[in-house]
Amino acid sequence: MKILVTGCNGQLGREIINQLESKKTKGEPIELLKCDKESLDISNFEDVYTYILEKKPEVIINCAAFTNVDLSEEKVDLAYKINALGSKNLAIASEKVKSKLVYISTDYVFKGDKKTPYREDDTTNPTNIYGKSKFLGEQYTKDFCSRYFIIRTAWLYGDGNNFVKTMLRLSESKKEINVVDDQVGSPTSTKELAVCVLNLINTEYYGTYHGTNNGFCSWYEFAKKIFEIKNIDVKVNPITSDKFPSKVNRPSYSVLDNFMLKLIDLDNFKHWEEALEEYLR
């Protein structure tokens, strides 16, 4: 199977490539194409179309994204260029060569005002530029490609910059840390998400899915658990979001229910605490 991974240097891209390389060493017939923003600008239609028609991948896993939520409010054009237009270009080229397309989306496509986990068919209503640009990317993926897997995820951590590493770094110089306690979601391991992606591409169960670790917590509870697992003595203070002034309206509740994965018996995700412990140990 010939697989193209865009955004190969991001947290999820790295993990997917690691798992695919592992499968190759075990004898699975995989040809891997790795692209970062320097080798393939997904916002350039001619580049994308030429590359994909030449390489003819059977699967395209699009991990490329503009994920800086705060900066998206300032660099609106760039956020849409990568998250929406780039996704459209890949979808058009993917359909031309009849490849399967994976689009990684986000919990931010929801407003975040529910009190129960969001299912795939719940009404979307993004309230910031990042969420809006990613949602448009979803729409383009559906409109221009017939063999797609849209996977919404949240609070990712893996090999790269993330909340877990930020907390550990802060603990090296601080004995007391303030963390918001009024935003709730599901911390998700890139290892678990990569397994989900690689399971889905071996099926024809096309559609939209939610893929996060099970259970949920606030950022404050997430931080407390990190330090507990690592046995680090740091005082964590719960504070409200208004103590961190921001231009971005973030969802206060963005827990996702892996409902559709459960229906097809492909919900491989562990509880978030178990996955976090595995990551840290």
In one-letter notation, the amino acid at residue 264 is I
User: What are the beta bridge partners of residue 271?
Assistant: 214
What element of type H or E holds 115?
Answer: none
Q: Please give the backbone phi and psi of residue 175, each rounded to the nearest 5 degrees, phi first.
A: -105, -5
CA distance 278 to 136: 34
List, in sequence order, the alpha helices (H) in 151-189: 163-171
Percent of the chain that is helix, strand, coil (3-state, to 5): 45, 20, 40
Task: Report the half-sphere exposure of 83 (CA within 13 A, side-chain side).
Answer: 26
Residue recorded with tokens 């004995």: 175
Q: How far is CA 41 from the centre of its chain?
A: 19
The answer to whether the CB of 209 falls within 8 A of the CB of 262 is no
Annotated active-site residue in 51, 80, 130, 253: 130
Helix crossing, 190-200 with 272-280: angle to 10°?
110
CB 5 within 8 A of CB 33: yes
Contact of 186 with 216, CB cutoff 8 Å: yes
Q: Is 279 a catalytic residue?
A: no
* Residues with catalytic roles: 130
